[in-house]
Amino acid sequence: MIRKRVTEMKEWKALRRHYKKMKDVTLRQLFASDAVRAEKFSINDGGIHFDYSKNRITEETVSILLELAHARGLRNEIERMFRGEKINETEDRAVLHTALRNLSGAPVIVDGADVMPGVFSVLDRMRDFSDRVRGGRWKGHTGRPMRNIVNIGIGGSDLGPRMVTEALKYYSRREMNFFYVSNIDETHIVETLRGLDPAETLFIIASKTFTTQETMTNAGTAKTWIIDHLGSDKAVPFHFVALSTNADEVNRFGIDRENMFAFWDWVGGRYSLTSAIGLSTMISIGYDHFVSLLNGFNDTDRHFRQMPFEKNIPVIMALLGIWYHNFFNAETHAILPYDQYLKKFPAYLQQADMESNGKSVDRSGRRVNYQTGPVIWGEPGTNGQHAFYQLLHQGTMLVPADFIGFARSLHGAVDHHRKLVANLYAQTEALAFGKTAEELRAEGVPERLIPYRTFEGNRPSNTIMAELLMPVTLGKIIALYEHKIFTQGVIWDVYSFDQWGVELGKTLAEKIFMELEPGFSGDVKHDSSTTCLINYYRSWQ
Ligand code: F6P
């Protein structure tokens, strides 16, 4: 069935007209005319405080955006995902990361079978294994307990667990060291393994397909390292476990099926951190904290499924993104966590969002005539303030931003934390309201400097606050973004759960890999630039 283009919908057209009215309205005006604007445009639910009042919106804006979501059938699309329908159409798969944290166990049916018993069985095995490793009861080939855990994976098999392990480091087993190797550049594994004792090192090979070039190359290098240092290939089963959907390839690599933790084709790579892919995180923080993380995800899943859209945080986040990307032509979105533990969060979201919605063909197979997924980027505050915030404040681009912070610190020094939060709040205030020429004159700023020192303001942001960075809170926040991405995919009418755009580069790399060999005698057929580059490389071998 050919679906109506979103740009032809009456709600979209209404937003276009509304934009003309709104484009010159300032946040100063909006706040001045409404004393309760912050309360009006905030949502408090499950310990998350979401303030979206510093956006260039009125109640009318929100109401048309919500109408768009309804008209696009968002409610029904949400149900289809949660019920396990095969909404990943181009790969003919269900999309059920929500089942991974469905701890109530309510049945979720895919192809006529309930997936929940399988989910619980893997979770139990992960618990048993992580308890043994943490407790020093999992012994290596020479009888020593494991102290170094090296996760080898890339993309979703790296970014998710790496981000969460870092974010929850406060709760981690400090006597153990956690490493993540992803890059095919040998530097990554060489520098990681330098100084590690093989007898105390456990490799977790994380790959949904178990065929990814980077992961399999690094896994092979790790295997050689173990065999060379421990003197026998009998060491492999003691030092390697696998997280995968591909039992045959795992077996071929030499890892016992016993030591494989499965997941399923209905778990997308970038949505997999709550599956077996989270094993390194579970070893780091322990089963109970991991379950709290899952509970946090589940809380947001329920919020997303049940809340009316006007109180639904991911839906509002998504609609605000649509408002800026499609009407104000904003091309990027900044993620600015004011918490050092969340330093990997922007990189994690880059894959989650850009691999999901970086699409230009709609669900009816037509090229879209509107902008879809934005560039996601960011760094923790306050570091970013001394680097790129200049552009956010005075550059020519509009960059909507999410500020994320916590009301309490995990550490003792009130001074640090109060300064951190003061900076977060100051930035959102400065972005929104800027500083006028009149204000500068009143401060005695010389006239010639006024243009340079003026801040236009009117730069939108969301602020997401929670009490404290706990596993449950982190789960809630990550799931907000997962569902934001889902919602935008529905509105943009793209398939958010495939990633065909990564394939061409992989195929070409395999071909060029052979052509780079000094002895290669076949025909090198490329454009003149690529051919010259290949010859340049070969000339140095
Ligand atoms: O190439 C992209 C991708 O397929 C991602 O979607 C995925 O997260 C990553 O590669 C790793 O894949 P795998 O877990 O199968 O090794």
The answer to whether the CB of 215 is under 6 A from ligand 1 is yes
The answer to whether the CB of 212 is under 6 A from ligand 1 is yes
Ligand 1 center to 269 CA (angstroms): 6
The rounded distance, in Å, linking the Cα atoms of 243 and 262 is 6
Radius of gyration for the chain, computed over Cα atoms and rounded to the nearest angstrom: 25
Closest-CA residue to 159 (of 350, 296, 376, 336): 350
Candidate from 159, 209, 504 with most ligand 1 atoms within 8 A of CB, to mutate: 209
Note the pLDDT of residue 478. 98
The answer to whether the CB of 272 is under 6 A from ligand 1 is no
**Atom 9 of ligand 1: nearest residue by CA position:** 155
CB 25 within 8 A of CB 38: no
Ligand 1 center to 127 CA (angstroms): 25
Q: Which atom of ligand 1 is nearest to the CA of 270?
A: 8
Note the pLDDT of residue 521. 87
The rounded distance, in Å, linking the Cα atoms of 454 and 457 is 9
285 burial type by CB count under 10 A (0-12 exposed, 13-18 middle, 19+ buried): buried
The answer to whether the CB of 270 is under 6 A from ligand 1 is yes
Q: Which atom of ligand 1 is nearest to the CA of 214?
A: 16
Helix (H, G, I), strand (E, B) or coil at 510: helix
Ligand 1 center to 495 CA (angstroms): 17
Closest-CA residue to 72 (of 307, 363, 271, 479): 363
CB 168 within 8 A of CB 341: yes
pLDDT in tens, the chain (541 residues): 788 999 999 999 999 999 999 999 999 999 999 999 999 999 999 999 999 999 999 999 999 999 999 999 999 999 999 999 999 999 999 999 999 999 999 999 999 999 999 999 999 999 999 999 999 999 999 999 999 999 999 999 999 999 999 999 999 999 999 999 999 999 999 999 999 999 999 999 999 999 999 999 999 999 999 999 999 999 999 999 999 999 999 999 999 889 999 999 999 999 999 999 999 999 999 999 999 999 999 999 999 999 999 999 999 999 999 999 999 999 999 999 999 999 999 999 999 999 999 999 999 999 999 999 999 999 999 999 999 999 999 999 999 999 999 999 999 888 999 999 999 999 999 999 999 999 999 999 999 999 999 999 999 999 999 999 999 999 999 999 999 999 999 999 999 999 999 999 999 999 999 999 988 888 878 999 999 999 999 999 9
Ligand 1 center to 154 CA (angstroms): 6
Ligand 1 center to 504 CA (angstroms): 14
Ligand 1 center to 24 CA (angstroms): 43
The answer to whether the CB of 337 is under 6 A from ligand 1 is no
Q: Which atom of ligand 1 is nearest to the CA of 209?
A: 15
The answer to whether the CB of 274 is under 6 A from ligand 1 is no
Q: Which atom of ligand 1 is nearest to the CA of 212?
A: 16
Closest-CA residue to 222 (of 182, 258, 270): 182
The answer to whether the CB of 246 is under 6 A from ligand 1 is no
Tokens representing residue 519 in the block: 């002895």
**Atom 3 of ligand 1: nearest residue by CA position:** 155
Ligand 1 center to 383 CA (angstroms): 30
Helix (H, G, I), strand (E, B) or coil at 36: coil
Note the pLDDT of residue 1. 76
The answer to whether the CB of 357 is under 6 A from ligand 1 is no
Tokens representing residue 368 in the block: 């879209």
Does the active-site annotation cover 355? yes
Closest-CA residue to 321 (of 329, 464, 289, 350): 329
DSSP assignment of 511-528: HHHHHTSTT--S---S-H
CB 284 within 8 A of CB 172: yes
Catalytic residue among 506, 510, 511, 517: 506
Q: Which atom of ligand 1 is nearest to the CA of 215?
A: 16
Relative to beta strand 461-466, strand 109-110 is: unpaired
Ligand 1 center to 507 CA (angstroms): 14
The answer to whether the CB of 208 is under 6 A from ligand 1 is yes
Q: Which atom of ligand 1 is nearest to the CA of 506?
A: 1
Candidate from 163, 273, 502 with most ligand 1 atoms within 8 A of CB, to mutate: 502
Q: How many CB atoms lie within 10 A of CB 330?
A: 19
Candidate from 88, 212, 253 with most ligand 1 atoms within 8 A of CB, to mutate: 212
Ligand 1 center to 511 CA (angstroms): 20
Candidate from 88, 154, 354, 357 with most ligand 1 atoms within 8 A of CB, to mutate: 154
Note the pLDDT of residue 168. 98
CB 289 within 8 A of CB 474: no
CB 380 within 8 A of CB 339: yes
The rounded distance, in Å, linking the Cα atoms of 189 and 200 is 16
Ligand 1 center to 530 CA (angstroms): 26
Residue written as tokens 């879809």? 372
Does the active-site annotation cover 13? no
**Atom 8 of ligand 1: nearest residue by CA position:** 156
Does the active-site annotation cover 258? no
